[in-house]
Structure 1
Amino acid sequence: DGGFVAVGALEPQFYAALIAGLGLTPDEAPQFDMAGWPALHARFEALFATRDRDDWAAHFDGTDACVTPVLTMGEAPQHPHNAARATFVDQGVMQPAPAPRFDGQATPAPQPPPLTLDDARSRWA
């Protein structure tokens, strides 16, 4: 579908959840066999190509497999996790909010980027 998922199952317990979710056994997908990583990469690639991004996201939702959808800039602000945390702000253009944010500390809202080259130059002068 042209979409992507991010996989960050580095620790053994997360990797175990990943391969279980992919229908593999530890013998079929040994995590620390560096010589086998190229073949394992190809196998993962082929498996992930069998479903679309949102299907995989739903499949792994609620697991500890560390598999998440890679959202577009249009999707990211609407994602429930990001919306609940006000991760994005609209200041004439949707953009990431400042981070990190500390409790009790005011963080200035980012300003929209200059619309023209002349505007940018005048601000730098």
Structure 2
Amino acid sequence: MSALVCPICDSSEILTHSDHYECVTCGHEWPKEEQTDLPAGERVVKDAFGHILANGDIVAMIKDLKLKGSSQTLKIGTKSNAIRLVEGDHEISCKMDGLAIGLKACFVKKVGG
């Protein structure tokens, strides 16, 4: 059996359908014929809509998100400063509303081209 993992959350709990795969953990779906031509070990971070993110991109929240350990909430549409991609569970490091935070890519969309 191949080591199939979700491109969004890196979970190995994948459901196989007739024409696509579905992640049990985050619900992301992608077609079976989608193959990456990247060298092994190179990590690709995609936003909630499948756009590839890079250092310096600007992202916006796609839903309200309560910040853990705080009474603050990041509202839908809140834009970041230039992001930095980092290793770990939270792939994005950026500033939003004056706070330095780490975000998961599944809660943001890329702004602009």
Higher normalized contact order (CA 8 Å, seq sep 6+, divided by chain length): 1
TM-score range, shorter chain: under 0.3
Larger radius of gyration: 1
> Which structure has the highest strand share of the two?
2
> Which structure has the highest helix share of the two?
1
